[in-house]
Amino acid sequence: MLLQRLASKVSVLAPAKINLFLELLGKRPDGFHELETVMIAVSLFDRLEVTPQDEPTIELDCAWEIGQMAQANQWDDPAQFLGDLPPMESNLVYRAVKLLQSEESVPRGAKIVLRKRIPSASGFGGASSDAAAALVAANQAWGLGCSIERLSDLAAALGSDIPFFLHAGQLGSGQAIATGRGEKIEAFEGKRLDLVLIRPAGGLSTPEVFRRCQIPHSPESAEGLMSALRSDRQTSIPRKLTNRLSSPARELSPRIDRLATLCEQLDVVAHQMSGSGSGYFAICRNRPHALQVAARLRAANVGMVFAVTTCGIRALRN
Ligand code: C5P
Residue pair 127/159 in contact by the 8 Å Cβ criterion: yes
Residue 266 inside a domain? The answer is yes
Ligand 1 atom closest to the Cα of residue 34 is: 21
Residues 25, 133 within the same domain: yes
DSSP 8-state assignment for residue 47: E
Distance of CA 292 from the midpoint of ligand 1 (Å): 35
Note down the domain range covering 75.
Answer: 3-189
Q: Which domain-ending residue is among 150, 171, 189?
A: 189
Query: pLDDT tens digits for 196-247?
Result: 999 999 999 999 999 999 999 999 999 999 989 988 666 688 888 999 999 9
Residue 224 inside a domain? The answer is yes
From the candidates 46, 116, 130, 161, give the one annotated as an active-site residue. 161
Residues 208, 295 within the same domain: yes
Residues 128, 13 within the same domain: yes
Ligand 1 atom closest to the Cα of residue 161 is: 4
Whether ipTM > 0.95 holds is yes
pTM of the model as a whole: 0.94
Q: Which domain-ending residue is among 165, 189, 213?
A: 189
Residues 214, 113 within the same domain: no
Distance of CA 159 from the midpoint of ligand 1 (Å): 7
Q: Which residue owns the Cα nearest ligand 1 atom 20?
A: 32
Query: pLDDT tens digits for 17-27?
Result: 999 999 999 99
Q: Which domain-ending residue is among 154, 189, 224?
A: 189
Q: Which of 181, 193, 147 is nearest to 167 (CA)?
A: 147
Query: pLDDT tens digits for 299-316?
Result: 999 999 999 999 866 555
**Residue 232 annotated to the active site:** no
**Local structure of 80: helix, strand or coil:** helix
Report the pLDDT value the prediction gives residue 8, as an integer from 0 to 100: 85
Residues 34, 13 within the same domain: yes
In angstroms, the CA 230 to CA 233 distance is 9
In angstroms, the CA 247 to CA 209 distance is 9
**Residues in the ligand 1 pocket, defined by CB under 6 Å:** 32-33, 35, 159-161, 181-182, 206-207, 210
Residue 102 inside a domain? The answer is yes
| Dihedral sign of CA atoms 82, 279, 124, 217 in order | positive
**Residue 240 annotated to the active site:** no
Q: What is the count of structural domains for the chain?
A: 2
Which positions of the chain have pLDDT values less than 70? 1-7, 68-79, 169-172, 232-235, 312-318
Residues 176, 42 within the same domain: yes
Residue 318 inside a domain? The answer is no
Residue pair 187/175 in contact by the 8 Å Cβ criterion: yes
Q: Which residue owns the Cα nearest ligand 1 atom 15?
A: 32
Residues 245, 120 within the same domain: no
Residues 269, 146 within the same domain: no
Report the pLDDT value the prediction gives residue 6, as an integer from 0 to 100: 45
Q: Which of 87, 44, 43, 88 is nearest to 66 (CA)?
A: 44
Query: Can you give the CATH number for the domain in which 71 is found?
Result: 3.30.230.10
Q: Which of 70, 15, 74 is nearest to 41 (CA)?
A: 15
Which ranges of 8-160 does DSSP label H, i.e. alpha helix? 67-73, 79-82, 92-103, 126-141, 148-156
For residue 302, give the H/E element and its range: none
Distance of CA 24 from the midpoint of ligand 1 (Å): 12
